[in-house]
Amino acid sequence: MYRALTVSLALALGCVSAARADIVLADLSYRTGPYANNGIPSSDGFNDYITLLNERDGGIEGEKIRVVPCEFGYNTQKGVECYDKMKAAGALSIQPLSTGVTYGIIPKSMADGIPVLTTGYGRTSAADGEVFSTIFNPPANYWQAADAQIRFIKEQEGSLRGKKIALVYHNSPYGKEPIPTLEALARREGFELQFYPIDHPGAEQAADWDKLKAAAPDWVLLWGWGVMNPTALREARRVKFPIDHIIGVWWSANETDVKSIGRRANGYKAVNFHAVGTEFRIYNDMNEYVYFAGKARGEADNLGTVLYNRGILTAILVTEAARTAMKIHGTTKLTPQMMRDGFENLNITEERMAEIGMEGFVPPFSLSCANHGGSGRVTVNEWDARLRGWRQIADYYEPDMSIIGPMIKADADKFAKENGIKRRKCR
Amino acid sequence: MSPVFLNTLEVILNGLMAGVMYSLVALGFVLIYKASGIFNYAQGVMALFAALTLVGLQTGQVPFSHLINAIFGTEVHHFGWELPALVAIVLTLGVMVIFAILVERLVLRHLVGQEPIILFMATIGLAYFMEGFGDLMWGSDIKKLDVGLPSGGSFWLEDVTRGWAAEGADYYGMYIDLLDVWAAIVATILVVSLTLFSQYTKTGRALRAVADDHQAALSVGIDLRTIWVITWAIAGFVALVAGVMWGAKSGVQFSLSLIALKALPVLMLGGFTSIPGAIVGGLIIGVGEKLFEYAIGPMLGGATENWFAYVLALLFLVFRPQGLFGEKIIERV
């Protein structure tokens, strides 16, 4: 009798545990709205990598992963609401996929202890782990992107003294992020900086480019999103600004943006912090366990694109953080606080990336209590319209932390003061 | 002539061209408002839906393919054929007529006699429904639209205007996108056709009668429902034209639906009931916002185009509340 009862109880518990996934991850996505074209491949890449781990490995250390989606249409208010839903669903980490939403949820995340991962976006000074204890923005941030853009231009020009560089940017928190770094670099290097804010969504830029034509800058930095990117390139052609003197940030470097204007985009450049394409071993497993098994989240057209691969990178970072957390705490039953420890001890080595099947995909980096931003290494790619793909044309630049480091600390201190946060001491 | 003057002239010309594009959207609003007193919030989304349908038909895309594949585990995306632009346009027009019939049957018919605000709210619902429906039917990736219209700059204009600049001046000539010129031609044809249609055809006169007084029109035997279907079908046609022009310019994608926001100041300025008003209003807004951004924008930190259009429209409203060409409404107590 007792035995039967025990077996029944064990089975019941087993059923409950089978029904309840132990690793819950949030997928804030925008499959609708003005930026759906960008949101879909990012989310697909993230979901497909998680599917691969579940199908091939049975999850992480035997724990299945469950992705909880929350559609926010790139609407900041809805995105912030998604955070509360994800928290209620028991998410171990949040990837907001929007700088505006990141700003909105930073105080909540720090109060709740739920880690937030912003892969190449969000608040730049979150790299300061002594203040932003739960926010992580590896492997590179916007200030490092701006630094790499200027470094590349300097290599082409020899000296920047007397040169004119224009920033054409999305008039939003995201677009304004590089301004402090560019201003500091302009002071140091002696170049003139011009600003051209473009209102959402950015389908009308004629007058801005007419102004730009009159101001005749030598180079243009493009900090756009969605329809703003192809429109800017089209307008550049209209005012006869050389396309090969435009350098975008990594969110202005999506294949669909450049493909839609055809050969005219040839020579356009953009910085990036990871590789593109499908020439990684992991795609063999992806084919077997995800695509050919009919378990892919979306269409196959996006495989290997900039945003799809970035989605995979985000999934790799989250799942590697979970693995690290399990090792640190000696358990597979994770809490958000344990997950935060996992992020803080994340070590992405070349060997580990090779084991995953993504050798050379991203430069190695590690995070720590003080450094939540990673290595900050950024490269420059060029669009080849004939091949319809990106070509890497520079090595990965080491960021100039002599300028960026103090700025990160100053901005983090400002945030700490405004929010009554005491800077923690990292050993 | 100095390059500064020539650049300013180019800004004005580009403003006029942009204004024509705004007018194309505003026309759809005016048509429906004139015939039914409804401010159709869904006009921008109708332009997006029409353009999506046109590209989908032209390229042989299977509608709802994502949904079909997800349910049945298939991998169907394309029919394997491509249609000539003209055939695809005619078929899209058919889809827009079906859409008009459905709007009348499923929405308007049930709201006869309701307050205008209720009808307005219904069009908001319609807009959101169509956004999702369009995405589901054709996908949300950016689509390239090519109906054979010429685009790019005119070398002839560049060469001619380069000669206007002073000797040795750093000036490369004026650039006007040929697509914008075609949009202006199409808009002119559209306005003339619509005016002739409403003035000289039986249906056109019926539309005007309904616009003047629903009850009186009903009393002389005009079928209100048929008129509504015709009105929405014509608005669908105008949306298709706007969608083609805007889609050819910046690709067919979600932000097309936001062009409705550009039409609002045009309507405020030109009046909600005047077809010529939509055109003149569009031109004033187009030139006004571009010139302001070019000349004053740098002093204000830029990004003035979106809000300046509304300021300009509000300034006009202070002096002419009915808009430039709108009908003055005097209600006696």
**For residue A297, what is the nearest residue in chain B, using CA coordinates?**
B70
Size of interface A-B (CB pairs under 8 A): 107
Percent of chain A with pLDDT strictly greater than 70: 95
Q: Give the pLDDT score at B328.
A: 67
Q: Is residue A426 part of a domain?
A: no
Q: Is residue A414 part of a domain?
A: no
Q: Give the pLDDT score at B331.
A: 62
Contact A70, A64 (CB under 8 A): no
| B140·A196 Cβ contact <8 A | no
Q: Is residue A241 part of a domain?
A: yes
A115-126 average pLDDT score? 96
| A238·B153 Cβ contact <8 A | yes
Residues of chain B in contact with residue A40, where contact means CB-CB under 8 angstroms, are 140-141
The Cα-based distances of A29 to A215, A299, A320 in angstroms read 39, 16, 21
Same-domain status, A196 and A250: yes
Q: Which residues contact B101 (CB under 8 A, 6 or more apart)?
A: B229, B233
Q: Give the pLDDT score at A285.
A: 96
**pLDDT one digit per residue (tens) for chain B, 333 residues:** 888 888 899 899 989 998 998 998 899 899 888 877 889 999 999 999 999 999 999 999 999 998 898 888 888 888 988 999 999 999 999 999 999 999 999 998 888 778 889 989 999 999 999 988 998 999 877 788 888 888 777 778 888 888 888 887 777 788 888 888 898 899 889 888 988 888 899 988 888 888 777 788 888 888 888 888 999 999 999 999 999 998 888 788 888 888 778 889 999 898 888 888 899 999 999 999 999 999 998 888 888 888 999 999 898 888 888 888 876 666 666
Domain that holds residue A170: 142-272+379-405
Q: Is residue A427 part of a domain?
A: no
More confident: A361 or B1: A361
Same-domain status, A394 and A357: no
A222-241 average pLDDT score? 90
**SS3 per-residue string spanning chain B:** CCHHHHHHHHHHHHHHHHHHHHHHHHHHHHHHHHHHCCCCCCHHHHHHHHHHHHHHHHCCECCCHHHHHHHHCCCCCECCCCCCHHHHHHHHHHHHHHHHHHHHHHCHHHHCCCCHHHHHHHHHHHHHHHHHHHHHHHCCCCECCCCCCCCCCCHHHHHHHHCCCCCCCCCCCCCCCHHHHHHHHHHHHHHHHHHHHHHHCHHHHHHHHHHHCHHHHHHCCCCHHHHHHHHHHHHHHHHHHHHHHHHHHHCECHHHHHHHHHHHHHHHHHCCCCHHHHHHHHHHHHHHHHHHHHHCHHHHCCCCHHHHHHHHHHHHHHHCCCCCCCCCCCCCC
Q: Is residue A419 part of a domain?
A: no
| B289·A227 Cβ contact <8 A | no
Q: Give the pLDDT score at B168.
A: 77
How far B32 CA lies from chain A's nearest CA (Å)?
26
Q: CA A195, CA A168: separation in Å to the nearest integer?
A: 6
| A227·B250 Cβ contact <8 A | yes
Say if residue A15's pLDDT is above 90: no
R_g (Cα) of chain A, nearest Å: 22
Q: A306: which DSSP letter?
A: H
Say if residue A265's pLDDT is above 70: yes
Say if residue A4's pLDDT is above 90: no
Same-domain status, A97 and A173: no
Same-domain status, A217 and A100: no
Q: Give the pLDDT score at B274.
A: 86
DSSP string, A111-132: HHT--EE-TT-S-GGGGBTTT-
Domain boundary residue among A335, A358, A376? A376
Q: Name residue, tokens 């616009």.
A: B211
Same-domain status, A136 and A146: no
**For residue A196, what is the nearest residue in chain B, using CA coordinates?**
B302
**For residue B246, what is the nearest residue in chain A, using CA coordinates?**
A203
Residues of chain B in contact with residue A34, where contact means CB-CB under 8 angstroms, are 253-255, 258
pLDDT band at A1 (very low <50, low <70, confident <90, very high): very low
Same-domain status, A288 and A181: no
More confident: A264 or A64: A64
DSSP string, A40-88: HHHHHHHHHHHHHIIIIISSBTTB-EEEEEEE-TT-HHHHHHHHHHHHH
Residue A278 burial by CB count (10 A; 0-12/13-18/19+): exposed, middle or buried? middle
Say if residue A393's pLDDT is above 60: yes
Q: Is residue A291 part of a domain?
A: yes
Residues of chain A in contact with residue B18, where contact means CB-CB under 8 angstroms, are 204, 206
pLDDT band at A359 (very low <50, low <70, confident <90, very high): very high
Same-domain status, A213 and A249: yes
In chain A, residues 199-258 whose CB comes closer than 8 Å to chain B: 199, 201-204, 206-208, 210-211, 213-214, 226-227, 230-231, 234, 238-240, 256-257
Same-domain status, A72 and A109: yes
A230-239 average pLDDT score? 89
Same-domain status, A401 and A359: no
Tell me, what CATH number does A191's domain have?
3.40.50.2300
pLDDT in tens, A22-49: 899 999 999 888 888 889 999 999 999 9
CB contact, 8 Å: A303 with chain B? no
| A34·B11 Cβ contact <8 A | no
Same-domain status, A82 and A176: no
pLDDT in tens, A266-285: 999 999 999 999 999 999 99
pLDDT in tens, A308-327: 999 999 999 999 999 999 99
Percent of chain A with pLDDT strictly greater than 90: 80
A40-65 average pLDDT score? 96
Say if residue A333's pLDDT is above 50: yes
Same-domain status, A146 and A136: no
Give chain B's length: 333
| B135·A195 Cβ contact <8 A | no
Q: Which two tokens stand for residue A42?
A: 């990012």
Residues of chain A in contact with residue B175, where contact means CB-CB under 8 angstroms, are 238-240
Number of domains in chain A: 2
A150-173 average pLDDT score? 96
Q: Is residue A415 part of a domain?
A: no
Q: Give the pLDDT score at A13.
A: 43
pLDDT band at A83 (very low <50, low <70, confident <90, very high): very high
Same-domain status, A154 and A211: yes
